[in-house]
Protein backbone atom coordinates (compact mmCIF):
# COMPACT_ATOMS: atom_id res chain seq x y z
CA UNK A 1 0.00 0.00 0.00
CA UNK A 2 1.05 3.61 -0.42
CA UNK A 3 0.34 7.12 0.73
CA UNK A 4 -1.86 9.42 -1.36
CA UNK A 5 -1.00 13.13 -1.43
CA UNK A 6 -3.19 15.88 -2.86
CA UNK A 7 -1.61 19.31 -3.28
CA UNK A 8 -3.68 22.35 -4.32
CA UNK A 9 -5.99 20.17 -6.40
CA UNK A 10 -8.50 22.09 -8.51
CA UNK A 11 -11.29 20.90 -10.81
CA UNK A 12 -13.48 23.49 -12.46
CA UNK A 13 -16.16 23.32 -15.12
CA UNK A 14 -16.03 26.87 -16.42
CA UNK A 15 -16.88 29.16 -13.51
CA UNK A 16 -18.07 26.17 -11.41
CA UNK A 17 -15.29 24.98 -9.06
CA UNK A 18 -16.25 21.43 -8.07
CA UNK A 19 -12.94 21.04 -6.16
CA UNK A 20 -11.22 24.20 -5.00
CA UNK A 21 -7.57 24.08 -3.96
CA UNK A 22 -7.82 20.92 -1.90
CA UNK A 23 -4.70 19.56 -0.16
CA UNK A 24 -4.42 16.59 2.21
CA UNK A 25 -2.24 13.55 2.79
CA UNK A 26 -3.57 10.05 3.34
CA UNK A 27 -0.78 8.19 5.13
CA UNK A 28 0.15 4.67 4.07
CA UNK A 29 -2.40 2.32 5.64
CA UNK A 30 -4.75 5.09 6.72
CA UNK A 31 -8.53 5.08 6.25
CA UNK A 32 -9.70 8.56 5.28
CA UNK A 33 -13.34 9.50 4.79
CA UNK A 34 -14.28 12.34 2.43
CA UNK A 35 -17.49 13.63 3.88
CA UNK A 36 -19.89 16.49 3.22
CA UNK A 37 -23.32 17.27 1.80
CA UNK A 38 -24.43 16.30 -1.68
CA UNK A 39 -22.63 18.28 -4.39
CA UNK A 40 -19.68 19.35 -2.18
CA UNK A 41 -17.08 17.70 -4.45
CA UNK A 42 -16.44 14.29 -2.86
CA UNK A 43 -16.92 12.14 -5.95
CA UNK A 44 -15.00 14.61 -8.09
CA UNK A 45 -12.06 14.47 -5.65
CA UNK A 46 -12.11 10.66 -5.71
CA UNK A 47 -12.32 10.58 -9.50
CA UNK A 48 -9.34 12.92 -9.71
CA UNK A 49 -7.31 10.54 -7.52
CA UNK A 50 -8.42 7.65 -9.73
CA UNK A 51 -7.58 9.58 -12.89
CA UNK A 52 -11.09 9.20 -14.30
CA UNK A 53 -11.30 12.93 -15.01
CA UNK A 54 -8.47 15.39 -15.78
CA UNK A 55 -7.38 17.91 -13.13
CA UNK A 56 -7.57 21.65 -13.76
CA UNK A 57 -4.64 22.26 -11.40
CA UNK A 58 -2.51 20.84 -8.61
CA UNK A 59 -0.59 17.61 -8.04
CA UNK A 60 -1.51 14.12 -6.92
CA UNK A 61 1.12 11.64 -5.71
CA UNK A 62 0.38 7.96 -5.07
CA UNK A 63 3.35 6.45 -3.27
CA UNK A 64 6.49 8.00 -4.73
CA UNK A 65 4.93 8.65 -8.14
CA UNK A 66 3.42 11.87 -9.44
CA UNK A 67 0.31 10.50 -11.17
CA UNK A 68 -1.09 13.70 -12.76
CA UNK A 69 -0.60 12.38 -16.28
CA UNK A 70 -1.06 8.65 -15.66
CA UNK A 71 -4.06 6.71 -16.98
CA UNK A 72 -6.34 5.15 -14.35
CA UNK A 73 -5.06 1.67 -15.16
CA UNK A 74 -1.48 2.73 -14.50
CA UNK A 75 -2.21 4.23 -11.06
CA UNK A 76 -2.49 0.85 -9.29
CA UNK A 77 -5.63 1.78 -7.43
CA UNK A 78 -8.81 -0.23 -6.94
CA UNK A 79 -12.25 1.36 -7.00
CA UNK A 80 -15.33 0.02 -5.26
CA UNK A 81 -18.56 1.68 -6.35
CA UNK A 82 -22.05 1.88 -4.96
CA UNK A 83 -23.39 -0.69 -7.41
CA UNK A 84 -21.01 -3.59 -7.20
CA UNK A 85 -21.01 -4.21 -10.96
CA UNK A 86 -20.44 -7.94 -10.56
CA UNK A 87 -20.71 -10.12 -13.67
CA UNK A 88 -24.06 -11.87 -13.19
CA UNK A 89 -23.20 -14.93 -15.27
CA UNK A 90 -19.81 -15.61 -13.73
CA UNK A 91 -19.27 -17.47 -10.47
CA UNK A 92 -17.77 -15.59 -7.54
CA UNK A 93 -14.45 -17.30 -8.31
CA UNK A 94 -14.52 -16.05 -11.89
CA UNK A 95 -15.63 -12.59 -10.83
CA UNK A 96 -12.50 -12.40 -8.70
CA UNK A 97 -10.29 -14.06 -11.30
CA UNK A 98 -11.44 -11.94 -14.24
CA UNK A 99 -9.23 -8.87 -13.70
CA UNK A 100 -6.24 -11.20 -13.32
CA UNK A 101 -7.13 -13.22 -16.44
CA UNK A 102 -7.27 -9.92 -18.32
CA UNK A 103 -3.74 -9.27 -17.15
CA UNK A 104 -2.80 -12.72 -18.47
CA UNK A 105 -1.43 -13.99 -15.19
CA UNK A 106 -0.54 -17.71 -14.99
CA UNK A 107 -3.43 -19.87 -13.79
CA UNK A 108 -1.73 -21.07 -10.64
CA UNK A 109 -1.02 -17.52 -9.58
CA UNK A 110 -4.61 -16.45 -10.26
CA UNK A 111 -5.82 -19.35 -8.16
CA UNK A 112 -3.56 -18.41 -5.30
CA UNK A 113 -4.57 -14.73 -5.30
CA UNK A 114 -8.29 -15.53 -5.52
CA UNK A 115 -8.08 -18.05 -2.68
CA UNK A 116 -6.15 -15.65 -0.51
CA UNK A 117 -8.56 -12.74 -1.10
CA UNK A 118 -11.52 -15.07 -0.49
CA UNK A 119 -9.98 -16.13 2.79
CA UNK A 120 -9.46 -12.54 3.97
CA UNK A 121 -13.07 -11.70 3.16
CA UNK A 122 -14.50 -14.99 4.41
CA UNK A 123 -16.17 -15.87 1.11
CA UNK A 124 -14.33 -19.12 0.35
CA UNK A 125 -17.58 -21.07 0.74
CA UNK A 126 -19.27 -18.83 -1.84
CA UNK A 127 -16.73 -19.19 -4.67
CA UNK A 128 -18.93 -21.47 -6.82
CA UNK A 129 -22.08 -19.37 -6.48
CA UNK A 130 -23.43 -16.74 -8.87
CA UNK A 131 -23.97 -13.16 -7.64
CA UNK A 132 -27.78 -13.53 -7.60
CA UNK A 133 -27.41 -16.34 -5.05
CA UNK A 134 -25.71 -13.96 -2.61
CA UNK A 135 -27.04 -11.49 -0.07
CA UNK A 136 -26.30 -7.79 -0.48
CA UNK A 137 -23.54 -7.98 2.11
CA UNK A 138 -21.95 -10.99 0.42
CA UNK A 139 -22.04 -9.24 -2.96
CA UNK A 140 -20.33 -6.30 -1.32
CA UNK A 141 -17.57 -8.59 -0.08
CA UNK A 142 -17.12 -10.07 -3.55
CA UNK A 143 -16.77 -6.55 -4.95
CA UNK A 144 -14.10 -5.85 -2.34
CA UNK A 145 -12.43 -9.15 -3.18
CA UNK A 146 -12.25 -8.24 -6.83
CA UNK A 147 -10.50 -5.01 -5.85
CA UNK A 148 -8.22 -6.86 -3.45
CA UNK A 149 -6.85 -9.47 -5.88
CA UNK A 150 -5.27 -6.67 -7.86
CA UNK A 151 -2.88 -5.79 -5.01
CA UNK A 152 -3.64 -2.09 -5.34
CA UNK A 153 -1.65 0.74 -3.76
CA UNK A 154 -4.91 2.22 -2.46
CA UNK A 155 -8.63 1.53 -2.37
CA UNK A 156 -11.02 4.24 -3.49
CA UNK A 157 -14.63 3.75 -2.44
CA UNK A 158 -17.59 5.93 -3.40
CA UNK A 159 -20.57 5.46 -1.06
CA UNK A 160 -20.22 1.66 -1.21
CA UNK A 161 -22.88 1.07 1.45
CA UNK A 162 -25.58 3.46 0.30
CA UNK A 163 -27.60 0.78 -1.54
CA UNK A 164 -27.88 -1.43 1.52
CA UNK A 165 -30.69 -1.39 4.06
CA UNK A 166 -30.01 0.26 7.43
CA UNK A 167 -29.20 -2.93 9.34
CA UNK A 168 -26.84 -4.33 6.74
CA UNK A 169 -25.15 -0.95 6.44
CA UNK A 170 -24.24 -1.05 10.12
CA UNK A 171 -22.92 -4.61 9.75
CA UNK A 172 -20.89 -3.79 6.63
CA UNK A 173 -19.48 -0.76 8.39
CA UNK A 174 -17.86 -3.06 10.93
CA UNK A 175 -16.70 -5.41 8.19
CA UNK A 176 -15.07 -2.65 6.17
CA UNK A 177 -13.33 -1.41 9.28
CA UNK A 178 -12.09 -4.93 9.99
CA UNK A 179 -11.00 -5.29 6.35
CA UNK A 180 -8.97 -2.13 6.70
CA UNK A 181 -7.41 -3.19 10.00
CA UNK A 182 -6.48 -6.67 8.73
CA UNK A 183 -4.95 -5.41 5.48
CA UNK A 184 -3.47 -2.12 6.67
CA UNK A 185 -4.94 -0.84 3.44
CA UNK A 186 -4.82 2.78 2.33
CA UNK A 187 -8.48 3.67 1.84
CA UNK A 188 -10.14 6.85 0.59
CA UNK A 189 -13.82 6.49 1.32
CA UNK A 190 -16.55 8.86 0.14
CA UNK A 191 -19.75 9.21 2.14
CA UNK A 192 -22.40 11.85 2.79
CA UNK A 193 -23.11 10.13 6.12
CA UNK A 194 -21.04 11.72 8.88
CA UNK A 195 -21.75 8.76 11.15
CA UNK A 196 -20.04 6.35 8.70
CA UNK A 197 -17.05 8.66 8.60
CA UNK A 198 -16.85 9.06 12.37
CA UNK A 199 -17.18 5.33 13.05
CA UNK A 200 -14.79 3.99 10.41
CA UNK A 201 -12.17 6.55 9.50
CA UNK A 202 -8.77 7.36 11.00
CA UNK A 203 -9.18 10.86 9.61
CA UNK A 204 -12.05 12.72 8.02
CA UNK A 205 -11.88 15.38 5.33
CA UNK A 206 -14.99 17.54 5.69
CA UNK A 207 -15.84 19.33 2.43
CA UNK A 208 -18.32 22.08 1.58
CA UNK A 209 -18.79 23.83 -1.75
CA UNK A 210 -15.60 22.34 -3.21
CA UNK A 211 -13.46 23.54 -0.28
CA UNK A 212 -11.82 21.35 2.32
CA UNK A 213 -13.10 22.67 5.65
CA UNK A 214 -11.25 20.51 8.15
CA UNK A 215 -8.95 17.47 8.00
CA UNK A 216 -8.36 15.67 11.26
CA UNK A 217 -9.29 12.63 13.36
CA UNK A 218 -13.04 12.24 13.95
CA UNK A 219 -12.44 12.86 17.67
CA UNK A 220 -10.68 16.18 17.02
CA UNK A 221 -13.24 17.30 14.44
CA UNK A 222 -15.99 16.50 16.93
CA UNK A 223 -14.25 18.21 19.84
CA UNK A 224 -12.93 21.25 17.97
CA UNK A 225 -14.96 21.98 14.84
CA UNK A 226 -13.18 24.72 12.93
CA UNK A 227 -16.30 26.64 11.86
CA UNK A 228 -20.08 26.61 12.17
CA UNK A 229 -20.45 24.46 9.03
CA UNK A 230 -18.37 21.61 10.48
CA UNK A 231 -19.99 22.08 13.89
CA UNK A 232 -23.44 21.58 12.45
CA UNK A 233 -22.41 18.75 10.10
CA UNK A 234 -20.67 16.38 12.52
CA UNK A 235 -22.61 14.80 15.36
CA UNK A 236 -26.16 13.53 15.63
CA UNK A 237 -28.21 15.43 16.53
CA UNK A 238 -26.04 18.30 15.33
CA UNK A 239 -24.47 20.92 17.56
CA UNK A 240 -26.99 23.67 18.22
CA UNK A 241 -25.96 27.18 17.19
CA UNK A 242 -27.46 30.36 18.66
CA UNK A 243 -26.57 33.74 17.09
CA UNK A 244 -26.04 36.32 19.89
CA UNK A 245 -24.06 39.50 20.61
CA UNK A 246 -21.14 39.99 22.96
CA UNK A 247 -21.55 42.87 25.43
CA UNK A 248 -20.54 44.03 28.89
CA UNK A 249 -23.04 44.38 31.71
CA UNK A 250 -20.69 46.62 33.68
CA UNK A 251 -18.92 43.89 35.61
CA UNK A 252 -18.94 40.92 33.27
CA UNK A 253 -18.69 40.01 29.61
CA UNK A 254 -21.97 38.45 28.53
CA UNK A 255 -23.73 37.08 25.47
CA UNK A 256 -26.87 39.06 24.87
CA UNK A 257 -30.05 37.88 23.22
CA UNK A 258 -32.46 40.15 21.37
CA UNK A 259 -35.06 38.51 23.65
CA UNK A 260 -33.56 40.45 26.54
CA UNK A 261 -31.61 37.85 28.50
CA UNK A 262 -27.85 37.73 29.13
CA UNK A 263 -25.54 34.76 29.59
CA UNK A 264 -22.40 35.67 31.62
CA UNK A 265 -19.20 34.16 30.20
CA UNK A 266 -16.31 32.57 32.10
CA UNK A 267 -13.03 34.57 31.86
CA UNK A 268 -11.67 32.27 29.12
CA UNK A 269 -14.89 32.39 27.08
CA UNK A 270 -15.02 36.16 27.55
CA UNK A 271 -11.55 36.49 26.01
CA UNK A 272 -12.59 34.30 23.08
CA UNK A 273 -15.83 36.24 22.49
CA UNK A 274 -14.06 39.61 22.62
CA UNK A 275 -11.67 38.41 19.89
CA UNK A 276 -14.55 38.17 17.39
CA UNK A 277 -14.31 40.48 14.36
CA UNK A 278 -17.63 42.13 15.27
CA UNK A 279 -20.06 41.92 18.18
CA UNK A 280 -21.73 38.97 16.53
CA UNK A 281 -20.90 35.69 18.27
CA UNK A 282 -22.51 32.29 17.74
CA UNK A 283 -22.93 30.13 20.83
CA UNK A 284 -22.61 26.39 20.10
CA UNK A 285 -23.47 23.48 22.37
CA UNK A 286 -23.92 19.75 21.89
CA UNK A 287 -27.10 18.12 23.15
CA UNK A 288 -25.35 16.06 25.82
CA UNK A 289 -23.73 19.12 27.48
CA UNK A 290 -26.98 20.94 28.15
CA UNK A 291 -29.23 20.63 31.18
CA UNK A 292 -32.87 21.43 31.47
CA UNK A 293 -34.29 23.24 34.51
CA UNK A 294 -37.85 24.16 35.34
CA UNK A 295 -36.82 27.44 36.95
CA UNK A 296 -33.99 29.93 36.41
CA UNK A 297 -30.58 28.77 37.74
CA UNK A 298 -27.22 30.56 37.29
CA UNK A 299 -25.88 29.99 33.77
CA UNK A 300 -29.29 29.19 32.37
CA UNK A 301 -31.37 30.97 29.76
CA UNK A 302 -35.09 30.78 28.98
CA UNK A 303 -36.53 28.74 26.15
CA UNK A 304 -39.75 27.21 24.92
CA UNK A 305 -40.09 23.48 24.24
CA UNK A 306 -40.86 22.75 20.59
CA UNK A 307 -40.83 18.94 20.28
CA UNK A 308 -40.16 15.99 22.57
CA UNK A 309 -38.90 12.79 20.93
CA UNK A 310 -38.51 9.67 23.06
CA UNK A 311 -36.12 7.13 21.43
CA UNK A 312 -35.91 4.53 24.20
CA UNK A 313 -32.83 5.15 26.35
CA UNK A 314 -32.69 8.86 25.52
CA UNK A 315 -35.35 11.48 24.95
CA UNK A 316 -34.45 14.33 22.62
CA UNK A 317 -36.07 17.69 23.16
CA UNK A 318 -35.93 20.62 20.78
CA UNK A 319 -36.15 23.95 22.54
CA UNK A 320 -36.44 27.38 20.93
CA UNK A 321 -33.83 29.72 22.41
CA UNK A 322 -33.50 33.23 21.00
CA UNK A 323 -35.00 32.10 17.70
CA UNK A 324 -32.67 29.06 17.29
CA UNK A 325 -33.64 25.40 17.65
CA UNK A 326 -31.55 23.77 20.37
CA UNK A 327 -31.26 19.98 20.81
CA UNK A 328 -31.06 18.59 24.32
CA UNK A 329 -30.85 14.94 25.39
CA UNK A 330 -32.75 13.98 28.51
CA UNK A 331 -33.38 11.00 30.72
CA UNK A 332 -36.64 9.39 29.54
CA UNK A 333 -38.06 10.00 33.03
CA UNK A 334 -37.93 13.81 32.61
CA UNK A 335 -41.49 15.02 32.09
CA UNK A 336 -41.78 17.95 29.70
CA UNK A 337 -44.28 18.82 27.02
CA UNK A 338 -44.34 20.99 23.89
CA UNK A 339 -44.88 24.74 24.46
CA UNK A 340 -43.68 24.52 28.08
CA UNK A 341 -41.37 27.35 29.21
CA UNK A 342 -38.07 25.94 30.49
CA UNK A 343 -34.52 27.04 31.35
CA UNK A 344 -31.48 25.61 29.63
CA UNK A 345 -28.19 25.51 31.48
CA UNK A 346 -24.92 25.89 29.55
CA UNK A 347 -21.65 24.36 30.72
CA UNK A 348 -18.99 27.08 30.30
CA UNK A 349 -16.28 24.42 29.87
CA UNK A 350 -18.08 22.70 27.04
CA UNK A 351 -19.64 25.48 24.99
CA UNK A 352 -18.20 26.53 21.62
CA UNK A 353 -17.96 30.11 20.41
CA UNK A 354 -17.83 31.13 16.76
CA UNK A 355 -17.27 34.47 15.06
CA UNK A 356 -20.74 35.47 13.81
CA UNK A 357 -19.23 37.24 10.80
CA UNK A 358 -16.54 34.80 9.58
CA UNK A 359 -18.17 31.62 11.06
CA UNK A 360 -14.72 30.52 12.34
CA UNK A 361 -14.26 29.01 15.81
CA UNK A 362 -13.02 31.52 18.37
CA UNK A 363 -9.94 30.11 20.12
CA UNK A 364 -7.21 31.56 22.28
N1 LIG B 1 -19.17 16.99 -15.55
C2 LIG B 1 -19.61 18.01 -14.81
N3 LIG B 1 -19.94 19.19 -15.34
C4 LIG B 1 -20.37 20.23 -14.59
N5 LIG B 1 -20.49 20.18 -13.25
C6 LIG B 1 -20.18 19.02 -12.63
C7 LIG B 1 -19.72 17.89 -13.37
N8 LIG B 1 -19.46 16.89 -12.47
C9 LIG B 1 -19.77 17.39 -11.25
N10 LIG B 1 -20.19 18.67 -11.37
C11 LIG B 1 -20.59 19.53 -10.23
O12 LIG B 1 -19.55 19.55 -9.28
C13 LIG B 1 -20.08 19.58 -7.96
C14 LIG B 1 -19.50 18.45 -7.14
O15 LIG B 1 -20.02 17.23 -7.61
P16 LIG B 1 -19.67 15.84 -6.92
O17 LIG B 1 -18.21 15.73 -6.77
O18 LIG B 1 -20.35 14.76 -7.70
O19 LIG B 1 -20.37 16.01 -5.50
P20 LIG B 1 -20.61 14.93 -4.33
O21 LIG B 1 -20.00 13.63 -4.73
O22 LIG B 1 -19.97 15.53 -3.11
O23 LIG B 1 -22.10 14.84 -4.17
C24 LIG B 1 -21.58 19.54 -8.10
O25 LIG B 1 -22.09 20.83 -7.99
C26 LIG B 1 -21.79 18.97 -9.48
O27 LIG B 1 -23.01 19.41 -10.02
MG1 LIG C 1 -20.92 11.73 -4.98
Choice among 79-83, 105-109, 138-142, 143-147 with the minimum mean pLDDT:
79-83
pLDDT for position 138: 86
**DSSP string of 212-240, one letter each residue:** EEEEE-HHHHHHS-SBHHHHHHSSSSPPE
Tell me the residue length of the chain.
364
Catalogue all structural domains in the chain, each as residue range(s) with its CATH number.
Answer: 4-225 (3.40.50.300), 237-355 (2.40.50.140)
Atom 5, ligand 1: which residue's CA is nearest?
A: 13
Radius of gyration over alpha carbons of the chain, in Å?
25
pLDDT at 263 over 80: yes
Query: Is the C-beta atom of 209 inside 6 A of ligand 1?
Result: no
Cα 287 to Cα 327: distance, rounded to the nearest angstrom: 5
Atom 21, ligand 1: which residue's CA is nearest?
A: 43
Task: Give the ligand 1 atom nearest the CA of 45.
Answer: 17
Task: Provide the edge-to-edge strand list for the sheet that holds 253-256.
Answer: 262-264, 253-256, 240-248, 280-285, 352-355
Task: Give the ligand 1 atom nearest the CA of 11.
Answer: 12
pLDDT at 82 over 80: no
Task: Give the ligand 1 atom nearest the CA of 207.
Answer: 22
Q: Round to the nearest angstrom and report the end-to-end CA distance of the chain.
A: 39
| pLDDT average, residue stretch 54-79 | 95
- 183-203 confidence digits (pLDDT tens): 889 999 999 999 999 999 999
pLDDT at 357 over 90: yes
pLDDT at 173 over 90: no
Distance from the CA of 18 to the center of ligand 1, in angstroms? 6
Most confident of 9-23, 78-92, 156-170: 9-23
136 close to 163: Cβ distance less than 8 angstroms: yes
- Over the chain, what is the mean pLDDT? 94
Q: What is the largest CA-CA distance in the chain?
A: 84
Q: How many CA atoms lie within 13 A of 256 on its CB side?
A: 11
91 close to 124: Cβ distance less than 8 angstroms: no
Q: What sign has the CA pseudo-torsion 18, 22, 26, 32?
A: negative
Burial zone of 192 (CB within 10 Å; 0-12 exposed, 13-18 middle, 19+ buried)? middle
Query: Is the C-beta atom of 44 inside 6 A of ligand 1?
Result: yes
Residue partners of 304: CB distance under 8 A and separation at least 6: 319, 320, 339, 340, 341, 342
Cα 89 to Cα 80: distance, rounded to the nearest angstrom: 20
Distance from the CA of 52 to the center of ligand 2, in angstroms? 14
Beta strands 240-248 and 280-285 are antiparallel
Amino acid sequence: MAEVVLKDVVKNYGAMFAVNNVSFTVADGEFVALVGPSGCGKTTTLNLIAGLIPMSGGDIHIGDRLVNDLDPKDRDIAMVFQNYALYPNKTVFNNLAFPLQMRKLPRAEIDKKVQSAAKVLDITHLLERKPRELSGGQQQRVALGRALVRDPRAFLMDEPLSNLDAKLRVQMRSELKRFHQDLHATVVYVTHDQLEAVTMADKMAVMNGGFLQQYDTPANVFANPINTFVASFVGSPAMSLIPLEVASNGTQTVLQSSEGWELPLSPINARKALAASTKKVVLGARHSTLKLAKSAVPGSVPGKVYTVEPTGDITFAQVFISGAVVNISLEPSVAIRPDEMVFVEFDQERIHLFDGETTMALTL
